[in-house]
Amino acid sequence: MTHLPFIIAGQPVDSKDTFEVVNPATGQPFATAPVATPEDLDRAVAAARTAFKSWSFLPVQTRREAILAIGNKIAANGELLANLITREQGKPLGGFARLGSRFEVDVAAKWCEATAQMEMPPDVLMDGEQGRIELHRKPIGVVGSITPWNWPLMIAIWHIIPAIYAGNAVVIKPSSLTPLATLKLVELANEVLPAGVLNIVSGEGGLGRAMASHAGIDKIVFTGSTQTGKSIMAGAAETLKRLTLELGGNDAGIVLPGANISEIAPQIFGGAFINNGQTCAALKRLYVHDSQYDDMCGALASIAKSVTVGDGLDDGTDFGPVQNASQLAFVANLAQQAQRDGGQFLTGGTSPLQDNGYFFAPTIVAGLCDGHALVDEEPFGPILPVIRYSDEQDVLARSNENPNGLGGSVWSADIEHAKVIAAQMECGTVWINGHGGLNPFAPFGGVKQSGFGVEFGVEGLKECTLPQTIHLPAST
């Protein structure tokens, strides 16, 4: 069995207790990872606090070179990392639209390069006879990163790289369902970073909670479910930790009348089923105008019927399994409820394979509306409800009538009109004639129960810092 230790103060650490990592394509354990004790967490935080003292005072150029070197390490170990991701997470190496684990590794490496181009010079707020005021950005201290199981490597990079570039030290805890690629990443990064700048602990249950309330951690950046985000916020209250919370989404896509269905259907399918729908900003509710509803349903169903589902290690697999058994049960339960609610299954609804893997075929469900569980709740799996509407203001109200507000999309041949609709959507990002594309220079974050704060771009980098205002006398 594969086994990877965690890393504290630049050193590999093992513990006598381990937990198993299951390959979702087989339902069988194939690796183990060590369980960190509360003392291990304390040691990781202490190592980060010590490293912070010198790391935060290094010239930006030194930290820039370090994150560029981490990107190079990722690229040089691309196949190894992609293989770990496919075996622990399930997504294919290549996959549908080539958005599988090789893509994840490639983007992770490129994200380091892009972040290294960003600058945060002091802002001059005033400079005149009454004096000069500058706004500087200082690193926060120790950042605790808690990541989910859907894009384990990429989300780890989104947390780690801006934090250390801005001068912080980090303790990361990956999901216990997908710890391996992150353990390997931290091992590789420690080949170029000073000891203690980046530490990792792994374990099941309780470790994330302990981080949220830990007195030695100054900020938590968390990506995961809204429910866990609330628990972290409560745990962080006592120490007044800074928080960036990237939480759940139930993104609506609105197809306006007159859209070119054959052109947009493949993009809509890709935006909904990327990573088997297990993506925070996947399209999860598709609203289509009456006049084109049947055409859109037909186009999406025909794509869904053409894809292959199987083990992600096999060439030619478009979609792998759902990542874990309880997520599969959740998706299957939503599907059964949709059936009871009168949903019409145009494709899928069941496992296409008879083995122990957590497979579920890409599923398109017509005939449901708001108020049905499959529409109201985030499925986080390969199932998409297509909902009929006839009035533009009504569909906007329905799309906004959801506690989440991560992303949304408008699909139209009339871009100016799409922009008017986009401006009225209650979400952090809106795509026009696309869904889910991210860019390292474009801030990304949720509103409402999808969280607060942003990642990416200079705005995201600033969230890894605290402002300090400096008042200077007028120069004579």
Element (H, E) at 143: strand 142-146
Phi first, then psi, for residue 63 (nearest 5°) are -70, -35
Provide the token pair at 50.
Answer: 């010590």
For ligand NAD, the closer of residues 168 and 450 by Cβ is 450
| Spatial contact of 143 and 218, defined as CB atoms under 8 Å apart | yes
CB-neighbour burial class of residue 28 (10 A; exposed 0-12, middle 13-18, buried 19+): exposed
280 is catalytic: yes
Alpha-carbon distance of 38 to 173, in angstroms, equals: 13
Catalytic site residue from 88, 104, 187, 246: 246
Q: How many residues does the chain have?
A: 476
The sign of the CA dihedral 191, 192, 197, 202 is negative
H helices present in 307-344, as ranges: 325-340
Beta-bridged to residue 221, according to DSSP, are 145, 244
Binding stretches for ligand NAD (CB under 6 A) = 146-150, 173, 175-176, 208-209, 212, 223-225, 228, 231-232, 246-249, 280, 378, 380, 406, 446, 450-451
Provide the CA 392 distance to its chain's centre, in angstroms.
31
Parallel, antiparallel or unpaired: strands 363-368 and 407-411: unpaired
- Closer of 310 and 381 to ligand NAD (Cβ): 381
Query: What order do you get walking across the sheet with 429-432 strand by strand?
Result: 344-347, 363-368, 383-389, 283-289, 251-255, 407-411, 429-432
Q: Please identify which residue in the block is written with the tokens 């470790």.
A: 207
Tell me how far CA of residue 381 lies from CA of 36, 188, 269, 329, 358, in angstroms: 30, 31, 13, 10, 11
**Least distance in angstroms from the C-beta of 182 to ligand NAD:** 10
Q: Which two tokens stand for residue 295?
A: 């055409």
| Other beta carbons less than 10 A from residue 240's beta carbon | 8
d(C-alpha 226, C-alpha 249), whole Å: 9
CB of 301 to ligand NAD, least distance (A): 25
The residue among 367 and 436 lying less far from ligand NAD, judged by its C-beta, is 436
Nearer to ligand NAD, 83 or 228 (CB): 228
Tokens 């605290």, located at residue: 466
Give the active site residue among 280, 297, 427, 464. 280
Q: Which is nearer to ligand NAD, 94 or 208 (CB)?
A: 208
3-class DSSP state for residue 62?
helix
The nearer residue to ligand NAD, 203 or 362, going by C-beta atoms, is 203
Q: Which residue, 366 or 455, has its beta carbon nearer to ligand NAD?
A: 455
411, β-bridge pairs: 255
Q: What are 470's strand-pairing partners? A: 134
| Number of Cβ within a 10 Å radius of residue 236 | 22
Nearer to ligand NAD, 23 or 176 (CB): 176
129 counts as catalytic: no
Give the CB-nearest residue to ligand NAD. Answer: 208
Q: Which is nearer to ligand NAD, 71 or 451 (CB)?
A: 451
Strands 407-411 and 404-405: unpaired
Q: Edge to edge, what strands does the sheet with 465-472 contain?
A: 123-128, 131-139, 465-472
- Cβ of 126: how many Cβ atoms within 10 Å? 11
Catalytic residues: 246, 280
